[in-house]
Copies of this chain bind each other. A is one copy, B any other.
């Protein structure tokens, strides 16, 4: 087992009737159906309705130990017994809902620390879908809307869980036409990479090693580090000019390891191609063992 744990960042609406590949991968990444899996539903206002189909599918996939953890107050999220359940899970899936609700509820609590502990100490697989995906970043895309053009102020950031840093994650990306929202964030935060994940699609991150795109859609990387923009000079609600954004589209099946890491993969052992130069730093950042370093 890779000693660094792994991430499964899901774009929401993962298909479960005809194909179960994304949730099957969640089970595999957690170590198989014998492992102890937990659903964290704190992003949702209807936790039981949210959890029920997942529990059905996990049962269908042969998993025997799967339970939900839900919190509605920070007091609950500081409950030691609840945090212990998270810290001892092999796979944790943070469901959809509202990422602001999730973070208001668990950010900085014992439960938040337990998530990090599970990843670090137990080499767990930490998965997040929809709101749960956005919350995995240190700078969380909390809300906002930019219909047809990038717009200053259209992407509102909040503090996220920080499993990846220097990245903003958006989900339901192509289906909700969110490229302009993500470009709006990049325009004002060129040091953040933009990661857009389509519905029924996931990015597998094996820390220190590499990535893989699975599911039905694709993943979009936006890299504005070399961009020039007038975003700082215009008013909120105005449209920035963006010159020199790097755009990369990785369809399902794309996967890359960092240079020299080909033999090191545990969960991505079948991924052997080395990342080409234009996306090496992006992938290196996503796969950091200590994201804040």
Contact = CB atoms under 8 A, between A and B. Distances in A.
A241 B254 contact: yes
A242 B248 CA distance: 5
Interface stretch (A56-64, A95-103, A158-166, A173-181): A173-181
A180 to B, nearest CB: 7
B278 A243 contact: yes
Given A149-B198, A179-B179, A243 B248 contact: yes
Interface string A132-169: 00000000000000011110000000000000000000
Interface in A227-257: 228, 238-252, 254
A183 interface: yes
Contacts of A276: 228, 243-244
Contact of A198 (B148, B183, B228, B240): B148
Contact of A249 (B149, B238, B252): B149
Nearest to A278: B244
A245 B246 CA distance: 6
A5 interface: no
Nearest to A147: B174
| Number of chain copies forming the complex | 2
Interface string A257-279: 00000000000000000001011
A108 to B, nearest CB: 36
A248 B240 contact: no
Interface residues of A, number: 34
A208 interface: no
A12 interface: no
A85 B287 CA distance: 64
Centre residue among A149, A177, A245, A246 by max chain B CB count within 10 A:
A149
A134 B222 CA distance: 27
Contact of A183 (B180, B239, B249, B252): B249
Contacts of A183: 249
Nearest to A275: B243
B247 A246 contact: yes
A251 B241 contact: yes
A218 interface: yes
Nearest to A240: B251
A241 B246 contact: no
Centre residue among A242, A243, A246, A276 by max chain B CB count within 10 A:
A243
Given A149-B251, A183-B249, A218-B149, A279 B175 contact: no
Centre residue among A174, A247, A252, A276 by max chain B CB count within 10 A:
A247
A218 B148 CA distance: 9
A241 B249 contact: yes
B254 A248 contact: no
